[in-house]
Amino acid sequence: MRKHLIGGLNIIFWTFQTILLIGVMILEDLSGKRMGVQRHVLHKESIYGSTYFTPELMRIYMGILIVLSICTLLLFTYSILKKKNNVIIKWSITTAAISLSAFTFILTTTREDFRAYHYFLMALLVVVGLHYLRLLIGIISYSSKHTKNLI
């Protein structure tokens, strides 16, 4: 039963992340084709750029991503050494990869590369957060003392 619950949860997380990223890509595409969408994106970009994505906050976000990636890689190493569940090993490596790819995206792209740059950043941060939530749920559900309560 636990396998089906975790498998269903995994599918829900991946579906939501895919829909979120596709939505941002559609917004980016439409902002070049439709004037109303472009006006909305430019207005929101100026608001988001001055409130949530200032240079100081971007450095903080990148620092958080690096620290979380290191913690996840340590969890991955610990899981291999202690021969923990393979699901935790797979999820920790994918979570670290997603976190490092989000860090790389923030580091290598600028506001001029995309019209909907801040929407991409928000989507990436939500995706990274969902991956860490999924990893946390997996750790709790596969730990020995909590397993008895779930089944």
> What integer best gives the mean pLDDT of the chain?
85
Nearest CA among 132, 128, 102, 138 for reference residue 17:
128
Quick one: pLDDT at residue 150?
44
Q: Per-residue pLDDT averaged across 104-128, rounded?
A: 89
Domain-located, residue 38: no
The tens digit of pLDDT for each residue in 133-146 reads: 988 888 887 775 54
Domain-located, residue 148: yes
**Which pTM was predicted?**
0.82
As for how many domains the chain has, the answer is: 1
Nearest CA among 15, 21, 28 for reference residue 134:
15
Q: Among 57-61, 67-71, 80-84, 144-148, which is the least confidently predicted range? A: 144-148
Domain-located, residue 50: no
> Which tokens belong to 114?
């995309």
